[in-house]
Amino acid sequence: MRRWSVRVRATVVATVTVASALAVAVAVLMGTLKSSLESSAGQEAARRAETAVQALITTNENGATTLVTTGPAGDVAIDPDVRVSTHPEQSWGEGYATVERTVTTSGGKVTVRARSSLEPVRDALHALRPLLLVGIPVLVLLVAVLTWLLVGRALAPVSAIRTTFARITASDLHERVPVSASGDEVTRLAQTMNATLDRLERAVSKHRRFVADAAHELRSPLATLRTRLELGRREAPRLVREALTDVERIQGLAADLLLLARLDAGEPLRMEEVDLGQVATEEALRPRRDGVTIRLDVATDVVVRGSRSHLTRLVANLVDNAVRHAETTVTVRVAPPGTVEVCDDGPGIPVEHHESVFDRFTRLDEARARDAGGSGLGLAIARDIARAHDGTLVVAGAAGLGARLRADLPPGDTAAG
């Protein structure tokens, strides 16, 4: 029952409670009605006995009581439900409420017996039973239906809140859950959630502005520093070369942070038809680390709709990551409708890190020892770009067989046609 919804649980509890209460009420009603009717029959028998005593027993002027009329065997017959006799009376059978009165007369003791049929009691109970057998289930069903409808109506604002809240992500924190006008607990819950979303939006906005501003502010002094180092290359070439390498890393990190800030902010992309094969080929031909061969397996006319600059960055990050970890070979595949796979013959990614490898600033221990300059943001940026295009990016290869990362993007209008 714990897995049932609140609506189902409330309906079941209300129905069972009402059914139990009605069962007890029916039992009490039937018992009380039977007792009352039997008591009425007993009172009717007593009334008949008293009437018979007054009608049959008379008192003369000497104070002696005598029977008015006697029948055979000393019995007095008035009506079928009254008997007066001077000898032991036999049973009248079942189905009657009986009362007897003993009167002492001049001729001895006389017993007056009266009875009242219990047939009306049985008839009343029999007439009531079908009504209860039909009415009780109908009433229980009505309670269940009304409870289901009322609880559903009461929980409708909660469902609307849940649906809206589930739709809210870091890129659309401006949305708010609906607030009903009922003024009840659900209204207060919605107001509290909206207030929390307000605070969260302000905090995320401040964080995004900070990252964007920091990345932007870093670019100018880094550009100045790079220029000065270039001018001093002749005097200390080795020192300048090492310093320029560090500057390039910092510039790359600043660019990555700025791009992440824009992706987090949900800035609209400039969408167009992009040939994935062409993008992959251009990135594969770019010079990279010596000793690694990049092979292409590109299908023709694989077109997706997206931002060319962002998709280029996605492919570039995947290829750069593969080159850094490959032994000798990296393979880039492009297949319809919009799949890009980048494989390397390196140590691969352990299964337990198939998700964490996409976290920001995450670099596996083995990668740290081999990394020639990665910031730990490349795969995170690639996945965010894929998601911004309503696509996915996952690790598709097992550890020990080399890493294989696959991006699936929705096809463009040209490919779909």
Last residue of one domain, picked from the residues 246, 264, 282 = 264
- Whether residues 233 and 287 fall in one domain: no
pLDDT greater at residue 108 or residue 37: 37
Q: Please give the share of the chain, as a percent, with pLDDT higher than 70.
A: 79
Q: Mean pLDDT throughout 382-389?
A: 91
Q: Please give the tally of structural domains in the chain.
A: 3
Q: Which residues contact 70 (CB under 8 A, 6 or more apart)?
A: 76
The range of the structural domain enclosing residue 301 comes to 272-416
Residue 84 located in a structural domain: yes
365 pLDDT exceeds 60? no
Q: Are residues 196 and 306 in the same domain?
A: no
- Asked whether residue 44 carries a pLDDT value surpassing 80, the answer given is yes
Whether the CB-CB separation of 240 and 262 falls below 8 Å is answered with no
Is the pLDDT at 355 greater than 60? The verdict is yes
Structure tokens at 69: 């009329």
Indicate if the pLDDT at residue 140 is higher than 80.
yes
pLDDT in tens, 286-334: 887 778 889 999 988 889 999 998 999 999 999 988 888 888 899 999 9
pLDDT at position 363 is 65
What is the rounded average pLDDT of the residues 112-116?
82
Is it the case that residue 414 has pLDDT exceeding 60?
no
251 and 203 housed in the same domain = yes
User: What is the average per-residue pLDDT within 94-110?
Assistant: 75
Is there a single domain that holds both residue 370 and residue 399? yes
Residue 283, pLDDT score: 86
Q: What are the counts of helices (DSSP H) followed by strands (DSSP E) for the chain? A: 9, 13
**Residue 160, CB-side half-sphere exposure with 13 Å CA sphere:** 16
Confidence of residue 367 (pLDDT cuts 50, 70, 90): very low
| Residue 153, amino acid | R
Helix axes 276-285, 308-325, angle to 10 degrees: 40
pLDDT digits (tens, 9 = 90+) for 185-235: 878 888 888 888 888 878 777 777 776 666 666 667 677 777 767 776 666
Report the CATH number that the domain containing residue 231 is assigned in CATH.
Answer: 1.10.287.130
Residue 46 lies in a domain: yes
Classify residue 179: in a domain, yes or no: no
Instruction: Report the pLDDT value the prediction gives residue 171, as an integer from 0 to 100.
Output: 60
Cα–Cα–Cα angle for 272, 275, 276, nearest 5°? 115
